[in-house]
């Protein structure tokens, strides 16, 4: 049975914004390995459109960016959207009954399936489908933006904490 995991970089004041802060080199290497080991990812429309950046090589990328792109492209993706009409390579469009689709994926697959995007994570949290939350806490204060928890914070229990790189702490929670 697969485990559904929601994890994102977060500021000290609870916001996620990929344009405001980026992972340092060691954390980026961690994310490359993480993506390589995923069974797949579930995306909402907005986060999927952000991640499509990795679909085509860019001449200014270094080795690590190319490694991440290769890992990202190779994994299966399920994109939850009512507005998209099609999705890119190695992706499946999910337009309705997300609960049934996710329950089937969890039952039929093994390993970790990443949930990408706070709004999608809220929907899946409300359905009781997320097995683990990973907050990559950065020493940055944004004061505004999209919160990690798009709705009320579910009851959680801390199960691990780990220093990631020089200044990021990964906090791992499970539903309480």
Return averaged pLDDT per consecutive 10 residues of the chain, 176 residues in all.
Answer: 96 90 90 97 94 95 96 97 94 96 98 95 96 96 94 95 93 97
Q: What is the pTM of this model?
A: 0.94
pLDDT at 176: 95
pLDDT at 50: 92
In angstroms, the CA 43 to CA 93 distance is 10
pLDDT at 114: 98
Question: The domain spanning residue 95 has which CATH number?
Answer: 3.40.430.10
Q: Angle, to 10 degrees, between the axis of helix 25-37 and the axis of helix 63-74? A: 20
Q: What angle do CA 47, 34, 91 make, to 5 degrees?
A: 45
pLDDT at 31: 95
pLDDT at 155: 96
Contact call for residues 135 and 7 (beta carbons, < 8 A): yes
For 144: left if phi > 0, alpha if psi spans -120 to 50, otherwise beta; the answer is beta
pLDDT at 70: 97
In angstroms, the CA 57 to CA 13 distance is 34
Count of domains forming the chain: 1
101-108 contacts at long range (C-beta below 8 A, 24 or more positions apart): 102/4, 102/42, 102/127, 102/129, 103/129, 105/2, 105/40, 105/42, 105/78, 106/1, 106/2, 106/3, 106/4, 107/1, 107/2, 108/2
Matching residue, tokens 């609870």: 14
In angstroms, the CA 58 to CA 142 distance is 29
What are 154's two structure tokens?
Answer: 């579910």
Structural domain harbouring 150: 2-175
């Amino acid at each position: 049975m697969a485990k559904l995991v929601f994890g994102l970089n977060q500021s000290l004041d609870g916001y996620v914004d990929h344009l405001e802060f980026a992972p340092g080199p060691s954390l980026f290497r961690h994310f490359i390995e993480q993506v390589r080991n995923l069974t797949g990812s579930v995306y909402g429309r907005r986060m999927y459109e952000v991640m499509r950046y990795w679909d085509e090589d860019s001449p200014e990328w270094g080795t690590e960016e190319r490694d991440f792109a290769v890992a990202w492209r190779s994994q299966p993706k399920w994109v939850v959207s009512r507005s998209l009409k099609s999705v890119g390579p190695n992706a499946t469009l999910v337009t309705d009954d997300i609960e049934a689709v996710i329950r089937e994926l969890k039952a039929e697959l093994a390993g970790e399936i990443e949930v990408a995007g706070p709004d999608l994570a809220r929907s899946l949290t409300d359905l009781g489908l997320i097995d683990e939350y990973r907050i990559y806490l950065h020493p940055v204060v944004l004061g505004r933006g999209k919160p990690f928890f798009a709705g009320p914070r579910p009851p959680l229990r801390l199960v691990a904490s780990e220093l990631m790189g020089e200044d990021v702490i990964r906090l791992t929670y499970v539903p309480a």
